[in-house]
Amino acid sequence: MGHDELRRGCGAGDQLRGAGVPLRPSTARAALDPALVPSLGLDSAGVSKDTTHIAVADKDGNIFDATPSGGWVPGAVILGDTGIGMSVRGEQFWLDKTRANQIRPRARPRYTLTPSLVFRGDMPMMALGTPGGDNQDQTILQAFLSVVEFWDDWYPNLHAALERPRVQTLHFYGSFWPHKPGFNRLNVEATIPDAVYDELRVRGHDVNRLRPFGMSGCATAVMIDPASGNRFAAGEPRRDCYAIAY
């Protein structure tokens, strides 16, 4: 089967339970009864459905990339009877007037949304993005490096590039209210070698080891292969995400 014919669905409903991760009551109910998952706004791994991402490449070489987010239910004000939720991104402002990201007229808050286009010279080559709040930039950077720095390891199966293990720093104030800090904290997936995990702890980091594919986020990507012109698409198994040829 050609790579552009691949269609992959990602996520496993029993992984979260098996890892011993604490669940919210609604998430726990969904884990016990898969039929409840869609009505609770959760994906198959019990993760709340909020931000999403879409990347598209067409036969003419155009690439489109978007990360829709912000009109969450619950939380958003619904515009009349339209069913359209207003953005709640204002919660990313600070009420502290000493901060640059303070709420004030004509200001825009620090954003987490990072749909990304990759060019080779003047030609678009790849679209890449993810949900995941403050972990979006880290997910996109690591996914990008997995593609370009480990090309021979995955080519032409783009899925394999996105499945490489991930790390995450929480050493900043969160973008979303109440802007919780995560200073000195690191998350690393279980497939990171033991020697790396141990060395991080020796250096004084507060390291939390996650199950395989347990990191927040789910990179999806499309690519126009520079060598052949073929269209590649990939979605990873950290959430429900898909790669589809049409």
Residues 153 and 141 in one domain: yes
CATH of the domain at 223: 3.60.20.40
**Burial of 162 (C-beta count, 10 Å sphere; 0-12/13-18/19+):** buried
Pairing of strands 185-189, 167-169: antiparallel
Higher pLDDT, 87 or 168: 168
Q: Among candidates 236, 177, 220, which has minimal Cα distance to 67? A: 220
Q: How many CB atoms lie within 10 A of CB 87?
A: 12
pLDDT cut 90: percent of the chain above it: 63
Higher pLDDT, 83 or 207: 207
Residue 37 lies in a domain: no
Q: Among candidates 66, 162, 70, which has minimal Cα distance to 115? A: 66
Residues 175 and 100 in one domain: no
Residues 102 and 118 in one domain: no
The pTM of the whole model exceeds 0.75:
yes
Token pair listed for 203: 């250096």
Residues 107 and 117 in one domain: no
Residue 226 lies in a domain: yes
* Per-residue pLDDT, 43: 56
Residues 161 and 136 in one domain: yes
Higher pLDDT, 224 or 9: 224
Residues 169 and 96 in one domain: no
Terminal CA-CA length for the chain: 15
Residues 190 and 94 in one domain: no
Residue 138 lies in a domain: yes
Residue 137 has pLDDT above 60, yes or no: yes
Higher pLDDT, 27 or 165: 165
Residue 26 has pLDDT above 50, yes or no: no
What ranges make up the beta strands (E) of 17-136? 54-57, 63-66, 116-120, 123-129
Residues 101 and 199 in one domain: no
Structural domain of 191: 51-69+113-243
Residues 103 and 177 in one domain: no
Residues 89 and 172 in one domain: no
With cut-offs at 50, 70 and 90, classify the pLDDT of residue 46: low
Count structural domains, the chain: 2
Residues 91 and 193 in one domain: no
Residue 23 lies in a domain: no
Residues 133 and 214 in one domain: yes
